[in-house]
Chains A and B, each alone.
Chain A
Amino acid sequence: MRRRRHRQRDDRRGAELTFDVLIVGAGHAGASVAIHLRQAGFTGSIAILGDEPELPYERPPLSKDYLAGKKGREDFRFRSAEFWAERDIRLIAGERVTTVHPSSVHCAAGRELHFGQLVWAAGGRARRLPGAYAIRTLADVDALKASLPGATRILVVGGGWIGLEAAAVLATAGKQVVLAESQNHLLARCSAALLSDFLLAQHRGHGVDVRLACGQLDPVRFDLTVAGIGIEPNVEPLLAAGADGNDGVLVDEFGRTSLPNVWAAGDCALHRNRFGPDRPVRIESVQNAADMGACVARAIAGDPQPYAALPWFWSNQYDLKLQTVGLSHDHDEVLVRGDPAIGKFAVIYRRAGRVIALDCVNNTRDYVQGRALIERGVRLDGALLTDADRPLKSLLET
């Protein structure tokens, strides 16, 4: 695969193009695949196809600094246009793949692109509510920001990460925010009740009217509605082509799908995670997208290494810095380390006696030192783990 094949052909009339590696999706996963392929010395032709008319950019600021006006549009591109050009990574923007064939894809606008290897890094699309703004793309947030000046009362639907981050930004901007969550606690999918309760108190303390176990509210009572109700993985064209999967596309430890020469990485990739439960999972995070992308790139470049990166995640709300390491799926025990009342603590998740994840609030030290506890799968006494005066690092030394 290292040999340059000179297969890139630009037939202007037929608009037919061929790439040794065609990457579908211009987010963290897609960018990571391309960057790591070149770092590994891969000299074949590479293209990144994205469905937005944008240079590849990071999504996390959309619900944080970009929404808050602290970062401009050009402040969170992965790389400059020159960077991609210098490395001969072709960017094809504003194209969406509708059909996947054994060695080509068909785009919505009619274009046909041929590939040697296809990397599916198409992520997900926001679930949308009629009349509500979503927060998934730059265009989504530009539209939301354009209508904010005239809005006072804002309904945020969904008490997950995106809903909470948006509520924090909007409340800080002086808006009257009602946050409606259908479950009876915040972050219902992923966090312990203790963290949910802490965040609930924080948001209420900042003036957000949080309604739990909340049915549909009348949107007429609000100037605008923001929906943060999750994503649907963009995998339909792959599944239609026969790839295994359902809520995501199934991949092996190297990121290979069940289709020949087709790989997948990032939010849409259903995989068995070394740190997760004993079943395939999808992980929606920057870390997973970037590291899986790197894993796929190494395999394509001829140096396959099984995906084994430790998951981590972060969120910023008000002055709170939330950092998570590990995956808390199927935990059977929750411990608290430190004091939620002073706003600095960690929630430790265990399964069968082993530490599997930590949610850390304003507590980078435990976030950092907790990594080793998870990686080594150690069994430790709960009283030691919850003694906040004892550094987690020191527990491994005993």
Chain B
Amino acid sequence: MPITVSVTTRDGRTKDLTAIAGRSLMENLRSGGIEEILALCGGCCSCATCHVYVDDQWLTAMPPMSEDEDDLLDTSGAREANSRLSCQIPVTPELHGLAVTVAPED
């Protein structure tokens, strides 16, 4: 069954992507043409350029946040309670229907 992720970009438009399980959400967003996801460090949790807001109803389905991710998110002036680095979220079939919003650029 295809996994669909709904992404709202900075211009307020929402796009549904078909995601591949086993890849990170960041990789899926990037290959899905979401250009605002820069992901400069390639997903090794060394920058904060893949920052997204996770729709509140999906927060409990998210993997726990590492200390490094927590610290990196602190570099963003746009951090909210539902902030995550998308490189740290592996896509699984359980995430079908996930909705995220690209955080503003810092």
Contacts and interface: CB of A to CB of B under 8 A. Distances in A.
Given A286-B41, A314-B46, A368 B72 contact: yes
B35 interface: yes
Interface in A353-388: 364-365, 367-369, 371
Given A82-B33, A321-B46, A286 B40 contact: yes
Contacts, number: 56
Nearest to A322: B46
B30 A79 contact: yes
A35 B35 contact: yes
Contacts of B46: 312, 314, 321, 323, 364
A300 to B, nearest CB: 17
A312 B35 contact: no
Contacts of A60: 41-42
A287 B40 contact: yes
A312 B33 contact: no
Given A38-B35, A83-B35, A364 B44 contact: no
B82 interface: no
Nearest to A77: B31
A49 B59 CA distance: 42
A61 B44 CA distance: 10
Nearest to A285: B40
Interface string A76-112: 1111101100110000000000000000000000000
Contacts of B74: 368-369
- Dominant secondary structure of chain B at its interface with chain A: loop
B30 A371 contact: no
Nearest to B10: A39
Interface size class of B (residues with CB under 8 A): 20 to 34
B56 interface: no
Nearest to A362: B68
B42 to A, nearest CB: 5
Contacts of A58: 42
- Dominant secondary structure of chain A at its interface with chain B: helix
A290 B38 contact: yes
Contacts of B71: 364-365, 367-369
Interface in A273-325: 286-287, 290, 312, 314, 316, 321, 323
A75 interface: yes
Interface in A30-59: 35, 38-39, 58
A316 B33 CA distance: 28
A76 B24 CA distance: 12
B94 interface: no
A290 B71 CA distance: 22
B75 interface: yes
Contact of A79 (B33, B42, B75): B33
A54 to B, nearest CB: 16
Contact of B40 (A61, A79, A86, A290): A290
A60 B42 CA distance: 8
A84 to B, nearest CB: 10
Interface in B57-77: 67-68, 71-72, 74-75
A364 B75 CA distance: 11
Given A58-B42, A61-B42, A365-B67, A80 B35 contact: no
Interface of A: 28, 35, 38-39, 58, 60-61, 75-80, 82-83, 86-87, 286-287, 290, 312, 314, 316, 321, 323, 364-365, 367-369, 371
Given A76-B42, A79-B35, 5 more contacts: A28-B40, A38-B35, A61-B42, A286-B40, A314-B44
The 9 A-B pairs of least Cβ separation, nearest first, read A314-B46, A364-B68, A364-B71, A368-B71, A365-B71, A83-B33, A368-B75, A58-B42, A80-B31
10 contacts: A35-B35, A38-B35, A61-B42, A79-B30, A290-B38, A323-B46, A364-B46, A364-B71, A368-B75, A371-B75
